[in-house]
């Protein structure tokens, strides 16, 4: 994912550093070994930044380290507090390096306080027997579906082109209970951008809160922990290019103020690129 290994953008696509995602995840090395980043207005959420961009920033602290071995396989991000608009410091530490694997811990700080922690596992991947046991469902092509209008006036929703297949955000907050929280959609960066692990990490948080789907009530929510398992290597992501991903998410349990969500993201070829889980605070 280092800048030098990135493919050239295709004609009509923005150069990498001009894309808001790249501007948002940029981290500048400091003399003390930490990295300096900034929240980016293009990914602003209602309070603080879009969680997916925080995940991509934490991952990028590892991706851009010269000490990194291999590609990301697992990422867990814990959201400790809403980030304030402005600068943050990231620190990535390789706590264990094995022959072909590496374990990292990351924290993001603002004003001397931890606002996010993360762990990242990277590995040199090998060609092996492979199978996508969780198959992509048969769904209409994105070209046959209308683009979803942003459901709220927040910036990050403009950064994704979404075409809903099933499970839209409620059209009315009428408190009508729905028995199934599933949402399925086609999604890609807007403007289009060649996929890589940082962009994919950000995409894993693209689903609106499952509790809103179930209860049609806009209760306060906030993701507290999110995990991404990357099944795709850099070559597979580059080959996916700027194409749509098919993404779905579904809750498993709601109780005591927290619910979880399990999700999958495939490319149009039906390759399962990432599986993702998160646990979310809700007030209800």
Interaction site with its own copies (CB under 8 A): 73-74, 76, 78, 80-81, 95-96, 98, 101, 103, 105, 107, 113-115, 117, 119, 121, 123, 125-134, 180-181, 214-215, 224-225, 227, 229, 231-233, 250-258, 260, 262, 264, 272, 275, 277, 279, 281-284
User: Judged by CB, which is closer to its own copies: 193, or 214?
Assistant: 214
User: Judged by CB, which is closer to its own copies: 22, or 107?
Assistant: 107
User: Judged by CB, which is closer to its own copies: 25, or 73?
Assistant: 73
* Both structure tokens of 271: 């390759």
Q: How far is the CB of 55 from its own copies (least distance, A)?
A: 13
* Both structure tokens of 112: 């001397």
Beta carbons within 10 angstroms of residue 86's beta carbon:
9
Q: How far is the CB of 180 from its own copies (least distance, A)?
A: 7
User: Judged by CB, which is closer to its own copies: 3, or 256?
Assistant: 256
* Both structure tokens of 275: 């599986």
Which of 152, 116, 167, 142 lies closest to 266 in space, CA to CA?
142
Determine contact, residues 92/42, Cβ cutoff 8 Å: no
Determine contact, residues 200/187, Cβ cutoff 8 Å: no
Q: How far is the CB of 281 from its own copies (least distance, A)?
A: 8
User: Judged by CB, which is closer to its own copies: 107, or 189?
Assistant: 107
User: Judged by CB, which is closer to its own copies: 48, or 225?
Assistant: 225
Q: How far is the CB of 276 from its own copies (least distance, A)?
A: 9
Determine contact, residues 82/220, Cβ cutoff 8 Å: no
- What's the rounded Cα separation, in Å, for the pair 136 and 133? 9
Q: How far is the CB of 220 from its own copies (least distance, A)?
A: 12
Determine contact, residues 223/279, Cβ cutoff 8 Å: yes
CA of 87: how far to CAs of 24, 25, 84, 110, 202, in Å? 11, 12, 8, 7, 19
- What's the rounded Cα separation, in Å, for the pair 66 and 89? 18
- What's the rounded Cα separation, in Å, for the pair 188 and 74? 21
Q: How far is the CB of 40 from its own copies (least distance, A)?
A: 23
């Amino acid at each position: 994912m280092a800048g030098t290994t990135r493919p050239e953008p295709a004609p009509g696509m923005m150069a990498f550093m001009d894309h808001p995602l790249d501007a948002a995840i940029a981290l500048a090395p400091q003399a003390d070994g930490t990295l300096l980043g900034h929240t980016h207005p293009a990914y602003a959420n209602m309070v603080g930044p879009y969680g997916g961009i925080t995940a991509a920033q934490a991952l990028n602290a590892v991706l851009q380290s010269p000490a990194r071995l291999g590609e990301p396989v697992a990422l867990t991000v814990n959201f400790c507090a809403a980030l304030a608009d402005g600068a943050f410091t990231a620190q990535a530490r390789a706590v264990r390096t094995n022959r072909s694997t590496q374990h990292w811990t990351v924290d993001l700080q603002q004003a001397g306080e931890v606002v996010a922690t993360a762990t990242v596992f990277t590995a040199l991947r090998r060609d092996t027997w492979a199978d996508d046991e969780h198959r992509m469902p048969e769904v209409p092509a994105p070209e046959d579906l209308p683009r979803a209008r942003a459901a709220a006036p927040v910036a990050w929703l403009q950064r994704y082109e979404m075409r809903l297949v099933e499970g839209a955000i409620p059209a009315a907050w009428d408190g009508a209970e729905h028995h199934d929280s599933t949402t399925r959609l086609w999604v890609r960066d807007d403007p289009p951008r060649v996929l890589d692990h940082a962009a994919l990490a950000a995409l894993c948080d693209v689903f609106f809160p499952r509790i809103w789907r179930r209860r049609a009530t806009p209760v306060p929510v906030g993701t507290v922990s999110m995990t991404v398992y990357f099944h795709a290597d850099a070559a597979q992501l580059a080959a996916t290019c700027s194409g749509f991903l098919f993404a779905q998410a579904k809750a498993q349990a709601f109780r005591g103020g927290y619910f979880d969500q399990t999700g999958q993201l495939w490319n149009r070829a039906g390759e399962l690129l990432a599986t993702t889980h998160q646990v979310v605070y809700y007030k209800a």
